[in-house]
Chain A
Amino acid sequence: MNDKLKIVAFVCENHAMSAIRAASTAGESLPESIRIIEVPCTGRIETPQLLDAIGDGADAVAVIGCLEENCYHDVGSMLARGRVNRIKDIMKDISLEPERIEMINSASVSGAMLMMKLRQFESRVAAMPVLVLKEAIK
């Protein structure tokens, strides 16, 4: 299990989760490395949670939410994007690839497109050097 890619995906229970379900109904599979954590809104996610996911052994983190213009809870995915960008800046600052964290927006009907984006994300992460944490983070 340790040599397999681990991507933690925070998925909002609204449009993003609908998109994922729509994809699976259409016979499209979720990339193997994606592990879904469902949240009521991507706006629920706090910056330490994004960093802690990496600390817990994730190779990358995806935050999947509604399209910003149509967030089910109005401001959630917009705020989430702001936080993802903030973490990217911190990661760049501490010499971690900022591309390990990504904000992905999806309409509830765009299942296929979302799967494609996730596959592309997975291959980008697979191409990065493995993040080795010498000590376990408690």
Chain B
Amino acid sequence: MIRAERKPVSEIARMLTGKKNVLVVGCKTCVAIGHAGGEKEVSELISALKIVSARDGHGWKFEQTVVERQCEKEWVRPIEDKIVSADAVVSLACGLGAQTIADMYPAKQVYPGVNTMFLGVPEEQGVFVEKCLACGECVMFETGGICPVARCAKSMRNGACGGSADGKCEVNLDTDCAWYMIYERLKLQGRLDLIMKISEPKDWAKSHAGGRRKIVRKDLLIQPTDRTGTEVKK
């Protein structure tokens, strides 16, 4: 899921200079499970900021809350009172959550309390590893379920580069060479014929390189009507 890391407390403190009523909002989904912006981290941040305030005389007053999913308006709406009465909102959700609040309450100062980093899996407790780049054109069916876009430093499309040594990537000896892994995986599955296939270059326009992306599911759209059943033209 989405992985984020809390910004240094001093950076957040600088954002709050001159503010008085500060609301810190966490999220219970990705950032909670990733130990970056759940209720626990909200408390931790406030404990640290309280000391800064007391020592430097900022006079900050803190309010804290968490919402189920900060990226959905319906979940943010119930905490409207808290948002309205604050003069600064620090969001510990990912960029999606922070922007949802900012877009809903454009006159409010909404500050990001975390840096949203990547899409990652928990390899083991406390270790998050990027495995998907959201490139928009998944090719894993040809690579035995291993993504060469995210897990190869160069996003190589048709095999390892010359820097691969002993199964490790030349960029970082901690990283396994994705194509070495793909080879071994396809061998295990008896599908080494896929290695021989030369694939076309990727359509990078489908990734963020093509600009901000949008998916519209026409079958899910709720068409507005005038309650007589006649569709209203927007």
Query: Which A residues lie at the B interface, using CB under 8 A?
Result: 46-48, 51-52, 54-55, 90, 93-96, 131-137
Enumerate chain B residues within 8 angstroms of A48, measured Cβ to Cβ: 40, 43-44, 46-47
- Residue of A at shortest CB range from B126? A82
Q: How far is the CA of A82 from the CA of B50 in the complex (A)?
A: 22
Contact between A134 and B57, CB atoms less than 8 A apart: yes
Which of B9, B48, B57 has the largest number of chain A CB atoms within 10 A?
B48
Q: How far is the CB of A84 from chain B (nearest CB, A)?
A: 13
Contact between B55 and A90, CB atoms less than 8 A apart: no
Instruction: Scan residues 41-60 of chain B and give those whose CB is less than 8 A from a CB of chain A.
Output: 43-44, 46-48, 50-57, 59
Q: How far is the CA of A54 from the CA of B50 in the complex (A)?
A: 10
Q: How far is the CB of A102 from chain B (nearest CB, A)?
A: 17
Q: How far is the CB of B9 from chain A (nearest CB, A)?
A: 5
Q: How far is the CB of A47 from chain B (nearest CB, A)?
A: 5
Contact between A54 and B43, CB atoms less than 8 A apart: no
Contact between B54 and A51, CB atoms less than 8 A apart: no
Q: How large is the interface on B (under 10, 10 to 19, 20 to 34, 35 or more residues)?
A: 10 to 19
19 A–B contact pairs at CB < 8 A?
A: A46-B40, A46-B44, A47-B40, A47-B47, A51-B44, A55-B47, A90-B44, A90-B48, A93-B8, A93-B9, A94-B48, A95-B10, A131-B55, A133-B51, A134-B57, A135-B53, A135-B54, A135-B57, A137-B51
Contact between A137 and B50, CB atoms less than 8 A apart: yes
Contact between A51 and B48, CB atoms less than 8 A apart: yes
Select A55's contact among B9, B50, B57, beta carbons within 8 Å.
Answer: B50
- Residue of B at shortest CB range from A132? B55
Contact between A90 and B59, CB atoms less than 8 A apart: no
Q: How far is the CB of A110 from chain B (nearest CB, A)?
A: 30
- Residue of A at shortest CB range from B61? A138
Would you call B13 an interface residue if the criterion is a C-beta within 8 Å of the partner chain's C-beta atoms?
A: yes
Contact between B10 and A133, CB atoms less than 8 A apart: no
